[in-house]
Amino acid sequence: MINLELPKKLKASANQAHQVAAQIFRPVSRKYDLAEHEYPVELDTMAAMVEALNDSGQGAAGATLGREGKTKDSDGSNANGGNMAGLLNVIETCWGDVGLTLSIPYQGLGNSAIAAVATDEQLERFGKVWASMAITEPSFGSDSAAVTTTAVLDGDEWVLNGEKIFVTSGERSSHVVVWASVDKSKGRAAIKSFVVPRDAPGLSVARLEHKLGIKASDTAVLLLQDCRIPKDNILGSPEVNVEQGFAGVMQTFDNTRPIVAGMAIGLGRAVLEELRGILSEAGVEVSYDVPANNQHAAAAEFLALEADWESAYLLALRATWMADNKKPNSLEASISKAKAGRTGTAVSLKAVELAGTYGYSERPLLEKWARDSKILDIFEGTQQIQQLIVARRVLGKSSSELK
Ligand SMILES: Cc1cc2nc3c(=O)[nH]c(=O)nc-3n(C[C@H](O)[C@H](O)[C@H](O)COP(=O)(O)OP(=O)(O)OC[C@H]3O[C@@H](n4cnc5c(N)ncnc54)[C@H](O)[C@@H]3O)c2cc1C
């Protein structure tokens, strides 16, 4: 039985995240939207705060994900732990600003990968780094089994070669989790993830991308040219287990997809709050006592958007609760990401429309949120890919049977 009531201890850290969003992120949200690639100095003041949160097991997004639930209830049956804290906090910080949230030190998607599959010894070494995630290459995006970057063992070191594109926080992070094949002849089972320090010899930033939204977040092209890292920087087993296939590295997504859903939910809530205020100022009040079709058309639209948002929120809670409680959640993680990604873009674009010329102008943040939202329906698996995964799971088809 899923209990949807949030534990008090998680509410406290979510409140703290909300303060950060309201006092640090919102005031500079437009500034860094207009100053792409400029480092948000405000983030420096946050680093210590985030470290303290992580030490207490209440990280703002990725760093604590996927580990044992840290806050088991007294009967030991319900663990609203690291994942749930991460979800609730990211909802709050993305209510403030998605691009700045993606730039919070120590909270990269690579941290989630480390948290999900690192050994205890690796957690000791990498538990407090800031790790971005490098999967995508010039030759593929959605088809993550098509990795061409290689990793070859040479004595006590792995030697990596390849090009990774669109790496969020690829320039600012201290480490990069790189997906590479240890043996291309063995297909997807040979794809492993490696923790590569940003100062490793042979790793360089080729350029930063200019983007539609989330301009506060640096998105880098990384080159790995005979890049050498220690042998024990591989995450998980170096053995190529054809039976297990891709499962090892893909496990990361079960934790990260609900978090990306949370980003869209946080942004969506910001949009709905702003829109409701704008409608109210225009004399359109939303009522929960009168049927939607008996209200002003804009109020009816608002109610439909809010209902969509609410279902996205509940689906993310479910997927996250399952992750904390060690229940297989690949299906629910994809459902939650698909619903929230779609809802974030639909809600924010509709709000621009309902707010008229004011919504399209740069005076409120509505047009920025509409631009920022799109990426949440793309990275960590696009809308179409999430639907494909859901269809495969519901129909019991393998990836080769349903493409
Ligand atoms: C701002 C930004 C930040 C990013 N950050 C990261 C990061 O940190 N790390 C990282 O590794 N990657 C990152 N990415 C890359 C992102 O994960 C990919 O863009 C995404 O996986 C989609 O890949 P693609 O863009 O190559 O699209 P493609 O895979 O070429 O797909 C193009 C279109 O076809 C659709 N499509 C593809 N296959 C199918 C199918 N089988 N059935 C139906 N439709 C299909 C897709 O949904 C999409 O609409 C980032 C991208 C952006 C834009």
145 and 277 fall within a common domain:
no
Report DSSP state, residue 168. Answer: E
Select from 107, 140, 174 the last residue of a domain.
107
Q: At residue 153, does pLDDT exceed 90?
A: yes
3-state SS assignment for residue 349: helix
Q: Is residue 116 part of a domain?
A: no
Q: Ligand 1 centre from 372 Cα, in Å?
A: 16
Q: Is residue 1 part of a domain?
A: no
310-368: pLDDT as tens digits: 999 999 999 999 998 989 999 999 999 999 999 999 999 999 999 999 999 999 999 99
Q: Is residue 99 part of a domain?
A: yes
Rounded alpha-carbon distances, angstroms, from residue 402 to 23, 186, 255, 330, 399:
47, 21, 24, 17, 5
Rounded to whole angstroms, how far apart are CA atoms 348 and 272?
Answer: 8
142 and 268 fall within a common domain:
no
Q: At residue 251, does pLDDT exceed 80?
A: no
Q: Is residue 121 part of a domain?
A: no
* Torsion region of 25: left, alpha or beta (phi above 0 gives left; psi -120 to 50 gives alpha): alpha
Amino acid at 403: K
Ligand 1 atom at minimum distance from 132 CA:
8
387 and 318 fall within a common domain:
yes
Strands 203-208 and 219-230: antiparallel
382 lines ligand 1 (CB under 6 A): yes
97-129: pLDDT as tens digits: 999 999 998 888 898 888 878 888 998 999 889
Q: Which residue range(s) make up the domain with 198?
A: 130-233
Q: Ligand 1 centre from 222 Cα, in Å?
A: 17
Contacts for 42-51: CB closer than 8 Å, 24+ residues apart: 42/100, 43/100, 43/103, 43/104, 43/105, 46/20, 46/104, 46/105, 47/105, 47/106, 49/20, 50/104, 50/105, 50/106, 50/107, 51/106, 51/128
Tell me which of 33, 143, 163, 166 to substitute to probe ligand 1's pocket, judged by most ligand atoms within 8 Å of the beta carbon.
166
Structure tokens at 375: 């990426």
- State residue 112's pLDDT score: 83
95 and 141 fall within a common domain:
no
Better-predicted residue by pLDDT, 109 or 80: 109
141 lines ligand 1 (CB under 6 A): yes
All residues at 6 or more sequence positions from 271 whose CB lies less than 8 Å from its CB, including other chains: 347, 348, 351, 366, 369
253 and 374 fall within a common domain:
yes
Structure tokens at 167: 């790496």
Q: How many separate domains does the chain show?
A: 3
- State residue 237's pLDDT score: 82
77 and 188 fall within a common domain:
no
